[in-house]
Amino acid sequence: MASIAIIGTGYVGLTTGACFSHLGHDVVCADIDEPKIARLQNGEIPIVEKGLDRLVDEGLRSGKLRFVVGAAEASKDAEFHYLCVPTPQGEDGAADLSYLEAAASEIAGVLPNDSVVVNKSTVPVGSTRVVARVLGRSDVAVVSNPEFLREGTAVADFLNPDRVVIGSRDQEAAIRVAALYSRVAAPIMVTDPVSAETIKYASNAFLASKLSFVNAIATLCEAVGADVNDVVLGMGYDSRIGREFLRPGPGWGGSCFPKDTKALARIAEDAGYDFSFLNEVLLVNEQQFDRTAAKIVDSVDAAAGQGHVAALGLTFKAGTDDLRDSPSIEVLKRVTAAGVKVRAYDPAVLVDDNHVGRIYPDLDIEIVGDPYTAAEGAASLAILTEWDEFTWLDFDKLAEIMGGRNIVDARNLLDDTIPRRRGFKYRGIGR
């Protein structure tokens, strides 16, 4: 088994470290955030990731997983060095590599001979050369090993991936990295670094394109009177299309798709290709936010503008507590801008923790602790994130406590016959 340093303990770094220790490797995870490292060393997991707490606990107990402050402290005794630091979107749309370069420069002087440095974070095409330049170590190989982890299922996605991609021109380094995954049952493909980095961006951009396409089809369905649920069901039987990632919604978001899709459009532009298709995918997504917000505002107007909107769901998808680039928030920004009051509930957002206010200080919405408090006196109820508990709402109770009889189901979560039977006007997406 190998000794691995993980630089950065966000959902990618923490998941990668915990899973590598589960696979039998000796892992040291480093972060600059000292209090966070103390909590992690104490087994406290700061993010919602199914199964992660169990793997961290297992690693701490076995001694296969440790947490330290500072990248150099982790890298000084390791053979592999995984860079899992943030690569946020810069002002100009390009990825900001300052954290990556800072991490590389911090470990350059302590890397043991013949180390392998691995880019796990989503980095622009050509970043292995950037890291190699910063390291300035001819005895150290730099390899791309992009992650395909979805938030909320990151552990399962790491241990049961559809594929492992390794980008390296150094065959021996590629084989050494591939060996880290020897206990993972998945195809391992080795290519050059630029192709590996492009696979990551192209995969995310394709998935975002698929979602914008299905959201556009939903709009078409509304225009022609088709039911999008049946349309996507009929499409999904075609193995070339597949059933996954065909759920219409309020638009797509999260900490990856928006950032990576914009970054790829920028990478293309810098390389001299006007990726207008991708810009249209981004535009359709913005329009989906607009359309969903308009449905909600119209539903309040239908109630003579009396009362607020009960917004159910703030996170960018169910199963996570991540609010970054959340479609729900994008929609609610537009709803509040139209002068409509919002009272919101999300099972992953604590009432007394200013979680929303910290990230979105300009968003003026009230946060409450349950869906019925949100719905009390509401002109309309909007489902914006597909939390399972919203499937089981008590519409008899809602009919009693709400001021209006309007439902905007932006995730097509509900069987619309249930609210309709109780006199609600149901508005879905594409149905």
Residues at the contact surface with ligand UDX, assessed by CB under 6 A: 147-151, 204, 207, 211, 245-247, 249, 252-254, 256-257, 316-317, 327
> Cα–Cα–Cα angle for 95, 99, 103, nearest 5°?
135
Least distance to ligand UDX from the beta carbon of 352, Å? 26
206-209 contacts, C-beta under 8 A, 24 or more apart? 207/245, 207/257, 208/252, 208/257, 208/260, 208/261, 208/281, 208/285, 209/277, 209/278, 209/281
> Quick one: 359 exposed, middle or buried, by C-beta within 10 A (0-12, 13-18, 19+)?
middle
What is the distance between the alpha carbons of residues 198 and 200, in angstroms, rounded to a whole number? Answer: 5
Rounded (10°) angle between helices 193-224 and 228-236: 140
Q: Which is nearer to ligand UDX, 16 or 115 (CB)?
A: 16
Residue 318 Cβ vs ligand UDX, minimum distance, rounded to whole Å: 8
Query: Which residue number, 111 or 149, has a Cβ lying nearer to ligand UDX?
Result: 149
Please state, in angstroms and rounded to a whole number, the distance separating the CA atoms of residues 321 and 333.
19
Question: Comparing C-alpha atoms, which of 56, 42, 44, 43 is closest to residue 13?
Answer: 56
Whichever of 205 and 367 has its CB closer to ligand UDX, that residue is: 205
- Degrees, nearest 5: CA angle 395-322-55: 110
Give me the least distance between CB of 215 and ligand UDX, in Å please. Answer: 8
* Residue 165, beta-bridge partner list: 189
Q: Which is nearer to ligand UDX, 316 or 395 (CB)?
A: 316
- Classify burial at 57, counting beta carbons within 10 Å of its beta carbon; exposed 0-12, middle 13-18, buried 19 or more: middle
Instruction: Name residue 78's amino acid.
Output: A
User: Minimal distance in Å, beta carbon 171 to ligand UDX?
Assistant: 26
For this structure, is 256 an active site residue?
yes
Least distance from ligand UDX to the Cβ atom of residue 10, Å: 12
Minimal distance in Å, beta carbon 372 to ligand UDX? 24
99 vs 245, which CB is nearer to ligand UDX?
245
For residue 255, give every residue at least 6 positions away whose Cβ sits within 8 Å of its Cβ, in sequence order, or none. 151, 316, 322, 324, 325
Instruction: Tell me how far apart the alpha carbons of residues 260 and 111 are, in angstroms, rounded to a whole number.
Output: 30
Residue in 19, 29, 221, 256 annotated catalytic: 256
Q: Are 315 and 152 in contact (CB under 8 A)?
A: no
CB of 261 to ligand UDX, least distance (A): 10
The half-sphere exposure of 74 on its side-chain side, counting CA atoms within 13 A, is: 31
Q: Which CB atom, from 9 or from 292, has the smaller least distance to ligand UDX?
A: 292
Half-sphere CA count of 110, side-chain side, radius 13 A: 17
Closer residue to ligand UDX (CB): 213 or 372 = 213
Neighbours of 77 (CB within 10 A): 12
Active site members: 256
